[in-house]
Structure 1
Amino acid sequence: MSDAHGNDTPTGLWDSIDDLWKWLEADQPIGGREGLLLRMLKLSEEVGEVAEAVIGATGQNPRKGVTHTWDDVQAELCDVVITALVALRTLTPEAREVFGRHLARVTQRSLGTRDA
């Protein structure tokens, strides 16, 4: 599958997001509006874990020293992306299309038109 710029997207990315969403929906202890809000808050938790990993990788907490690696930061960033995509899928079954359109708008706004 290719995006608006002809770049290949990871095979199965959205299938995996759908599978994770289904798994979460099947075992959701709190549903409705509150469950939706908690799913969105999970994103903030994951971003906090990125910050913790960066602080740990740079040794910025003198009491703890170096506690993480840059590989840990990469993994936490991946968790943020996955969590955000699952949150988007929670809001709409058309998450793939919504994300694709938004990415195209941001790319156009940021990079302008690219001549082939």
Structure 2
Amino acid sequence: MSDHPTSPVTPPPGLWESIDGLCAWLDANRPVDGPDGLLLRILKLSEEVGEVAQAVVGATGQNPRKGTTHTWDDVQSELCDVAVTALVALRTLTPAAPEVFARHLEEVTRRSLGPRRPDVSEV
């Protein structure tokens, strides 16, 4: 499918500028404003995750009626849509999205890749 990076990946140049631009474009063209608009933007994630599931089912040919309808490239694209949608939702929720995301990623990385705790059987 794809290779896993072996070193930390930095955000692409202009990531948050692109997210800000997408938020502004969505804000200018949204049919629902206020708290409901915020909730709908967050709920958009569910739709995108469903599209990932549909692409995986299609890439693996799990629906015998339809057969293979997607590729693993389609799955990658749908996963990217989920990531962008999540970042847009986060940015909609707070103007400090870059800092919030960086802190959260740092914490997840520390918890997951930080110093290994000895297993109970090793003590």
When the two structures are superposed, what TM-score results if normalisation uses the length of structure 1?
0.90
Structure 2 residue runs without a partner (length 5+): 1-6, 116-123
Tell me the distance in 2 between the aligned counterparts of 1:39 and 1:8.
26
Deviations along 1:44-101, one digit per CA (max 9) or x if unpaired, are 0000000000000000000100000000000000000000000000000010000000
Could you tell me which residue of structure 1 aligns to residue 110 of structure 2?
Answer: 108
Asked if residue 43 in structure 1 is aligned to residue 45 in structure 2, the reply is yes
Which protein is bigger by CA-based radius of gyration? 2
Label 1:6 to 1:111 Cα distance change in 2 as closer, same or farther (>3 A).
Answer: closer
Q: Percent identity?
A: 72
Aligned CA-pair RMSD: 1.6
Aligned partners of 1:66, 1:6: CA distance in 2, in Å?
34
Q: Tell me, what secondary structure is at the counterpart of 1:81? A: helix
1:34 alignment partner in structure 2:
36
**2-side partners of 1:7 and 1:70: how far apart?**
22
Residues 1:66 and 2:68 aligned together: yes
Structure 1: runs of 5+ lacking an equivalent: none
- Is the partner of 2:13 in helix, strand or coil? coil
Distance 1:37 1:110 in 2: 30
1:55 maps to which of 42, 54, 57: 57
* Counterparts of 2:60 and 2:97, CA distance in 1: 35
- The aligned counterpart of 1:15 is 17
Residues 6 and 64 of structure 1: CA distance in aligned 2, closer, same or farther (over 3 Å): closer
State the distance in 2 between where 1:92 and 1:111 align: 28
Q: Which amino acid aligns with 1:80?
A: V
Residue 78 of structure 2 is aligned with which of 72, 76, 79?
Answer: 76
Range moving further from structure 2, 45-54 or 33-42 = 33-42
